[in-house]
Amino acid sequence: MNTGPMAFMRGLTFPGGQQPVIRGGDVYMRYPRMADYLHWSRLRGESRAFLTPWEPSWATDELTKGAFRRRIKRYQKEARLDSAYAFFVFRGEDDALMGGCTLSNVRRGVTQCCALGYWIGERFARQGYMYDAVKALLPFVFSTLGLHRVEAACLPSNEPSKSLLQKAGFRQEGLARRYLQINGEWRDHVLFALLEDEARVG
Question: What is the spatial distance between Cα 145 and Cα 105, in angstroms, rounded to a whole number?
Answer: 13
Count of domains for the chain: 1
CA angle 72, 109, 154 (to 5 degrees): 55
Question: What is the spatial distance between Cα 80 and Cα 146, in angstroms, rounded to a whole number?
Answer: 16
Amino acid 20: pLDDT: 78
Domain CATH number, residue 24: 3.40.630.30
* CA neighbor of 89 nearest in space, from 45, 42, 36, 141: 36
pLDDT by residue (tens digit) across 138-183?
999 999 999 999 999 999 999 999 999 999 999 999 999 999 999 9
Question: What is the spatial distance between Cα 63 and Cα 34, in angstroms, rounded to a whole number?
Answer: 13
φ, ψ (nearest 5 deg) of residue 39: -65, -40
Q: Is the pLDDT of residue 10 over 70?
A: no
Residue 36 covered by a domain: yes
Q: Is the pLDDT of residue 137 over 90?
A: yes
Please answer whether residues 29 and 130 qualify as being in contact, where contact means their C-beta atoms are separated by less than 8 angstroms: no
Residue 173 covered by a domain: no
Residue 10 covered by a domain: no
Amino acid 200: pLDDT: 73
| Domain of 100, in residue numbers | 19-151
Q: Is the pLDDT of residue 12 over 90?
A: no
